[in-house]
Chains A and B, each alone.
Chain A
Amino acid sequence: MQNEEFIQDFKDEASGHLETVEKGLLAYDSGDYGPDVIHDIFRAVHSIKGTAGFFGLNHIVKLSHAMEHLFDRVRKQALTIHGDMITCLLAAADFLKEMVANAERSDSMDIAELLVQIAVFESGTNEAAKAADTGPKISEAKASAQAPEKPPEIAAADGPLPAPASSQPADMVAVRERDSTKNTGTHDESPEAEYTGAGDPDAEEAAGESESKSRLVARASDDTVRVHVSLLNDLLNITSEMVLGRNQLLSTLRGYRKTIPGLNGVLQNMNRLTTELQGKILLTRMQPVDRIFSKFPRVIRELSKKLGKSVELEIEGADVEMDKSLIELLGDPLTHLVRNAVDHGLELPGERERLGKPRTGKIRLKAYHEGGQVNIEIADDGAGIHFEKIEASAIRKQLLTKQEAARMGERDLLALLFAPGFSTAAEVTDVSGRGVGLDVVKVNVEKLGGAVDIMTKPGEGTTFRLTLPLTVAIIPALIVSACGQNFALPQVNLHKMIRIKPGDPERKIDRLMGRQVLRYGDKLLPLIRLSEVLGIEGREEAGEAADRVQRVLVLKSGYKKYGLFVDGILDDEEILVKPLPRLLGECVCYSGVTILGDGHTAMILDTEGIARKAGLRFTDEKVPEAVSGDDQVPLSEAQKLMLFGCSGPETFCVDLSLIARVEKIVPSQIEEVGDKEFVQIRGQAIRVIRPERYLPVQEAPPSGSHMYVLVPKLVKHPIGLLIHYIRDTVETDIRFNRDDIIGKGLVGSAILKGRLTLLLNLYELFEMAAPEFYEYTVEPISEKRTLLLVEDTPFFSRLEKSYLESAGYRVLTAVNGKEAWQLLGEHEVDAIVSDIQMPVMDGLELVKRVRAHKGLAGLPVIAVTSYADGPAKQIAMEAGFDFYEHKLDKGRLLDTVQAALGKGREAG
């Protein structure tokens, strides 16, 4: 029916107008308003009335009419807006909103009470309003106490009104009042007649109606077009299908690139256009975060009244845009965090004053772009979070033991706030708390592919930061297989991948009451098998294949972690998430469905659901992992890493400090000599290698019009790495485990930017590619020498250790000077290889202590650093180091160690 369409237009338009009204009223409330605000409000209400009249929505007309009338008096300065009036008008605007949303049955909704309230305020004189407004905003009791002085006047002005109605500061009172008004019966019957009698701006009535109609027309001719979201969804579908078509076309025609002239250009152009089209279509779904931010002034206003706190809200970056679906889903988590900040974060005004802070607390909502993601911060300048309180509360709730607590750092304690069933507030208030905790916020944000961080300073405030992707529609996923079927696992749920080789004592799968568990850090990780959970029969009983390498994905959902056996890990793909089809029944294991690059569908796994289906209960798993061993090194130096890809789907990275330069080349520049490939760069032929040929990863036929050559620093015989594309650079303190994907040429793997990334061991790679240049032969050592390696960065520590061990040394490791000093007391060491910049105790301090110690003074100490030369070297040598070497130059480092040991022997 066409009428329905018009009504939908009216609904859209009216909610826009109501937003104007709400914003305007809140501007009045904060005292920060311009002269035009009242006109905007008036016009907005007037338009609603006009269009509603057109549809014969009588109650909407009546209520908006009453509001309009009041605003008109304010406009003509016959009335001043004040606190109680705003509360009442906001309530009226809310009710209008509800009526508009349910326009079809709006006439059955009861508006009598609101009409009475509005009438009361309207009939008040300017003086009354002023008198009410003089009191401080928070102490409403005063304002209402003064009002009763006026009843005779009001009664005179508006006849049938019961006097007590004038003192209605809050909704609670209003509810009680409703019955008495009803009993009088007057307002239910003919409120309209009453108001028209009171000097209505009826002249504008007609004008208003035509205005709202012409506005509908005006909107259509504007620069914007209204498009239904379902059309955008269709477009998105078709585009992603087109991307698939493009890929098929490219692979079909690959062989003909040389035989058909001009084909290459056409394909490339098509390639580029399709990618661009997809990007643009995603853009059409973007909306400003203002859509959620704009409701917070209201939320804060109500909260501050309820809690007796004075709060100021500051909003920044309301124009930052995100995908529509994301914005819709963000509302609840954000509201929770804002309520939390007002309730738990900010102190009471008196308390603030005592602390020398302004009485009014500040909440700051800020959205900004960072590295292809959107960050949203909710900051308060309140009391901050007290670590002792978290600790005490966690122990009381038996979430952790005293011993565990003692080992935990501040970050880990903060992380406890997200554990299920945790709340630091002394008592549960109805504002925040009550069932929904921060754990729900965290799980919800993670479902959207985001993360939550907390930063806090006792006495200064707390900031929650949500990091979110720009769109939810496309997420990075890992394609895994079980019994020959493929599934997509969102990378955000992936904590780690572990390969378990048969007979590896470090990684042994234990059986416990018929269940498999893995010793993981100091915890037991429950292991489940994807094929079993899904009930698909394997072609072979993979579980008992003890002689095979097994793959376990460590998954996380909130604070739950478990291991999932899969048969294969296939690919790394950006997938378009589609909702679950209707007829699939109740399958908790899936969160959606997608179409993979090969055109086949694949189910998207839901880690939470799989855990539920498998019957995993995490009653004692609430506590996040304690800091342990070399898993997590606090305060380590941040590294700059470059992420890139080769022909296969894997993402690799190298430390940027290892790279001298990056050259862009076209594939035709690669010349082959024998089985080796060379590229001329600035007149010099450099041998290039393709990492994928030496590593346990996939190799795909070449694609793309150019490639890059990474030329490393500090190698005697330069070899370039031939890569296909550069993904990103990140600065991070990388955290990886000693036992994930390890192969020759790899340092390890880590999750960077939501992707599983393999860290290359460049020198090992070069050794594999050109053993004649790089094999480092060590002179036979009669006795095994022990070196103490002091290095805070896990990446370098692992790399240097591998260099030293490859030369036959026994290596002890420490993460800072303090730990090294302890080890020196416990072990016999032949030489120390130490980084200079480290937390807790740096290398300079360490070497000073060594030199000052009677028994150790002669010990050779080698400084290793990532800065080749400069004044740092001078300082290091003065502090007592014997040698100064670049930590990544394997050959020279080993030469130096040997020289140092020789020296040590002479000295000893």
Chain B
Amino acid sequence: MSGKLLTFRIAGQLYGIDITTVKEINRKIHVTSVPDTPAYVIGLMNMRGQIVTLLDLTKLMDAPVRGVDKPPTGTCVILKNKPGELDFIGFAIDELGSVVEGDDAPGEPPPAHLKGEFLRFIHGIRAWKQELILVLEPSAIYNP
């Protein structure tokens, strides 16, 4: 971990992800929905000839956070690929935050009264300004 986090907001919650795992941030994209797939798949998009599977992170994690449902903004974060993988993975976000400098420590572990399957997507929790950032675990997104 480089320590730098890219932050963004989904359904009201502030998330962060290690910026070195991010390939790019894409706006104004055309997503083709794919019927008969898991609910967390929003659809596929074309990124310069490469196929990106776009995920709904809240549904994927089955996160208990339920913020205000905003209309989709069309912005998404696309993750880097491991070598040998042909297609990419991305997830939709509501609002892009800033890049947060941090130390190498994983931050606080999730508090004891948070339970659920979604914890495996959480790398740690970090306090930043007035808020808490849920730091995501990229490998969990790759293997839901």
Contact = CB atoms under 8 A, between A and B. Distances in A.
B32 A602 contact: yes
Given A237-B50, A581-B44, A534 B36 contact: yes
Contacts of A603: 32, 34, 44
Given A583-B41, A585-B37, A587-B37, A595 B144 contact: no
A241 B49 contact: yes
B27 to A, nearest CB: 16
Contact of A583 (B36, B49, B50, B144): B144
Q: Which of B35, B41, B46, B144 has the most CB of A within 10 A?
A: B35
A359 to B, nearest CB: 52
Contact of B44 (A238, A535, A601): A601
B49 A582 contact: no
Contacts of A601: 32, 43-46, 51
Nearest to B34: A603
A196 B33 CA distance: 68
Contacts of B44: 581, 593, 601, 603
A385 B49 CA distance: 49
A583 B30 contact: no
Contacts of A593: 44, 51
A578 interface: yes
Categorize the interface residue count of chain A.
20 to 34
A535 B46 contact: no
Contact of B37 (A230, A244, A584): A584
Contacts of A533: 36
B72 interface: no
A126 interface: no
Interface string A546-589: 00000000000000000000000000000000110111110101
Contacts of A226: none
Interface string B16-50: 00000000000000101111111001011110111
Interface string B35-76: 111100101111011110101000000000000000000000
Contacts of B96: none
A600 interface: yes
B46 A599 contact: yes
B49 A581 contact: no
B87 A582 contact: yes
A595 B87 contact: no
B53 A589 contact: no
A595 B49 contact: yes
A205 to B, nearest CB: 38
B116 interface: no
A582 B85 contact: yes
Contact of A581 (B33, B35, B53): B53
B128 to A, nearest CB: 30
B40 to A, nearest CB: 8
Contacts of A613: 36
Contacts of A587: 34, 36-37
B37 A582 contact: no
B80 to A, nearest CB: 15
A601 B34 CA distance: 10
Contacts of B87: 578-579, 581-582
A535 B51 contact: no
Contacts of A534: 35-36
13 contacts: A238-B48, A238-B49, A241-B48, A241-B49, A578-B51, A579-B87, A581-B44, A582-B53, A584-B38, A584-B41, A589-B36, A595-B49, A603-B32
Given A237-B50, A584-B38, A585-B41, 16 more contacts: A244-B49, A485-B33, A534-B35, A578-B86, A581-B87, A583-B53, A583-B89, A584-B34, A584-B37, A584-B53, A589-B36, A593-B44, A599-B30, A600-B30, A600-B32, A603-B32
Smallest CB-CB A-B distances: 10 pairs: A241-B49, A534-B35, A237-B49, A581-B87, A601-B44, A581-B53, A585-B38, A536-B35, A601-B32, A583-B53
